[in-house]
Chains A and B, each alone.
Chain A
Amino acid sequence: DAGVIQSPRHEVTEMGQEVTLRCKPISGHDYLFWYRQTMMRGLELLIYFNNNVPIDDSGMPEDRFSAKMPNASFSTLKIQPSEPRDSAVYFCASSPFTGFYGYTFGSGTRLTVV
């Protein structure tokens, strides 16, 4: 298996622009998670899905952020409009049904909003 695949690896955009981050989870994994990592706040859970259904989006910072999982093999995290404070590394991770195995993370997308 190729693991969790995220794209793009780096994204630089101007303030006010729409940004879309993409994730392909490991085949057969039931759960998909989006995390954000910053120096100030560490690793924060934004939202997670079970069988393509959003379970907890309480970590989504504001209405500018939205996430979708149209099928078991694809998810997007969209920021519209983007702001400089959104600059961070965004991780996607997936997990099988049982939590004991932890998550497998993608390599992350480094977003810079200028």
Chain B
Amino acid sequence: AQTVTQSQPEMSVQEAETVTLSCTYDTSENNYYLFWYKQPPSRQMILVIRQEAYKQQNATENRFSVNFQKAAKSFSLKISDSQLGDTAMYFCAFMKHGGGTASKLTFGTGTRLQVTL
């Protein structure tokens, strides 16, 4: 079974600053996908960024980027130029490759990020 660990329950960052959220996972799989989801107070789960394990290049989406370290089983999220709208709960998630088909997403416990003025 896979496990996902987010060791930072809460974090705070000032507007325009950069913050990094940590995530580690445990798996015996070689091919898998990793995701970061954002859950603002509206409770909607929003996909932020995704990474395929076989790709060494780190994914980026505008102000969001990841540091994927496969050997260390680490998948951190960096938010640059933080904005008030980034205030949310952030979840790291793991999915087995399973031949390329969709399967179960296993979530971490989340990190609550507060962006302040």
Which residues of chain A have a CB within 8 Å of any CB of chain B? 30-31, 33, 42-43, 45, 48, 50, 56, 89, 91, 93, 95-105, 107-108, 110
Contact = CB atoms under 8 A, between A and B. Distances in A.
Interface of B: 33, 35, 37, 42-47, 50, 52, 91, 93, 95-98, 100-110
A31 B91 contact: no
A89 B43 contact: yes
A43 B107 contact: yes
Contact of B33 (A42, A45, A99, A110): A99
A43 B89 CA distance: 12
A33 B105 CA distance: 9
A55 to B, nearest CB: 9
7 closest A-B pairs by CB: A105-B45, A99-B102, A95-B102, A43-B107, A31-B102, A102-B47, A102-B35
Residue among A93, A99, A100 facing the most chain B CB atoms (10 A cut-off): A99
Contacts of A99: 33, 95-98, 100-103
